[in-house]
Structure 1
């Protein structure tokens, strides 16, 4: 390190390739950010005040909405400030803190979606024992377990990345502190750290996906055996919203963290990152309010109107 300058802060390159569209991007992302906060806030509030939604399914949805809200708070405000020419720099500690909370909430969301898949499996495949299996103690344990896995895994990942030395180069070719852009700046061999990152990514993405896949195989098998067409339609409807969020969430995350690092240009990487940091948190309230009749009815009751 004698011939190098130790990095004390990083500078985000952000969306410099789209310099002429910075204001447009700011307006679009700001609108989406406000809608995300409002949408998730409404979902949490409605679920809390409407006793019709005091069920395990909506308890997990409120926990997911809370996590999505904090997830967007970690990334989007700083990204917006960079788009309007405010400070694009972040201290070493600030970068580590942002990466920790980003990973913590992202991994928590992965496991919460798996828990919600398990909840749908019990509700459809074992309805007579649903209230016994999915009691409130179990629900709290599953939600707490998801948070614990997310935050503890984030600690491991952040410790791994920031044990690397950073010197001379300090410009992050991204709009927030993410794993791969940071590793590119390290002035040491990152092979072992990249292997650790791959293992963690496989665990937090593939394991929940496998659990969700198994749940839905069993769910579809049970639904197809139902004699009533109305019953099949209702069962599919209760799973449609969750499945939509799962496909987008895991699809974007898998492309970002499981693809070979040599693939995709910087612009393509940023597009993928925008999808899972800006669009996915907004998708949750949109899907669950537009496609879910019970939530729509609860919103009408909250506004003093009787659902039809």
Structure 2
């Protein structure tokens, strides 16, 4: 019979990371994690700095983009630094407090991103479908309120999730079959019947992901309808270009998150869980700066001007 233990400040966990893979695979993944983290930090920081310093970009769309970049820095920083340590034997242990902190930070960032992507879809809907009302509706106070709401909801969700997961009784095994403290691997460590915890997690995941994705879909149905009614090909192209980056982010983030969390009593293997988690924990925060800057002519122009200004000051 398995012995149970209640988590406490003295509890230590052991992250499996990718230690079950071959040395060549681990080396490749380590380089991938390191480069991804560096690119994400540089790219998202550059977007935040560019939007902050350029008055030309002080619009609702770029306000939310700057906030999204901050959230993605939190998302990747809550998982990747510890994952890099877990490639080394001495870095695989994580304390109970460290695990709770990582779990809490990840949930805050992930839920914030869901809501912010929804808010950004609404912003594009107002800009394209209600252009005459856009400036009067999407004011600075409204943008701050929408951002604050996303943080409050994410924080509340993280508090409840953390209490539910870390109130479980864990068995003797302290091996977390993942590269960070996520919901499925933490539940798998629990002794006894976890039916209600899994049911709770499934319901919350469906509620958050489905509600936000439905709002995004509704916004884009209206947006696409309005775009196709435009007579000018140039206007249609401009409208598509402002939405394309956002749509790519939504598809990758929501698609991978749904694969991981939209399952009940039908777990994937630890390997599948880790590979799917890579998409929204590592890949999205890394490629989003590239998507939003390379596909946005206005952003590229401002970045180039800032770069030239810095070079001029140095000389």
What interval of TM-score do these two structures reach, taking the shorter chain for normalisation?
A: over 0.9
Residue of structure 2 aligned with 1:194, choices 173, 192, 198: 198
For 2:179, what is the secondary structure of its paired residue? coil
For 1:175, what is the secondary structure of its paired residue? coil
CA-CA distance at 1:6 after TM superposition? 5.2
Say if 1:192 and 1:259 are closer, same or farther in 2 by CA, change over 3 A. closer
Report how many aligned residue pairs link the two structures: 305
CA-CA distance at 1:260 after TM superposition? 4.4
For 2:90, what is the secondary structure of its paired residue? coil
In structure 2, what is the equivalent of residue 52 of structure 1? 56
Residue of structure 1 aligned with 2:215, choices 211, 215, 219: 211
CA-CA distance at 1:151 after TM superposition? 1.1
In structure 1, what is the equivalent of residue 102 of structure 2? 98
In structure 1, what is the equivalent of residue 243 of structure 2? 239
In structure 1, what is the equivalent of residue 85 of structure 2? 81
| Whole-angstrom distance in 1 between the partners of 2:219 and 2:125 | 6
| Whole-angstrom distance in 2 between the partners of 1:5 and 1:141 | 43
Where do residues 1-308 of structure 1 align in structure 2 (5 Å cutoff)? 4=4, 8-21=11-24, 22-304=26-308
What do the CA deviations read for 1:227-286 (whole angstroms, capped 9, x no partner)? 111111111111111111111110111111113453532222211011111111112101
Give structure 1 regions of 4+ aligned residues with deviation exceeding 4 angstroms: 1-7
CA-CA distance at 1:292 after TM superposition? 0.8
Asked whether the 8 Å contact 1:164–1:188 carries over to 2, the reply is: no
What do the CA deviations read for 1:92-128 (whole angstroms, capped 9, x no partner)? 2221111111011000000000000000000000101
TM value normalised by structure 1? 0.95
Say if 1:158 and 1:224 are closer, same or farther in 2 by CA, change over 3 A. same
| Structure 2 runs not aligned, ≥5 long | 310-315
For 1:17, what is the secondary structure of its paired residue? coil
| Whole-angstrom distance in 1 between the partners of 2:305 and 2:101 | 41
| Structure 1 runs not aligned, ≥5 long | none
Root mean square deviation of aligned Cα:
1.6
Asked whether the 8 Å contact 1:107–1:150 carries over to 2, the reply is: yes
CA-CA distance at 1:17 after TM superposition? 2.2
For 1:209, what is the secondary structure of its paired residue? helix
Asked whether the 8 Å contact 2:129–2:222 carries over to 1, the reply is: yes
Deviating more after overlay: 93-102 vs 38-47: 93-102
TM value normalised by structure 2? 0.93
Say if 1:254 and 1:3 are closer, same or farther in 2 by CA, change over 3 A. closer
CA-CA distance at 1:225 after TM superposition? 1.0
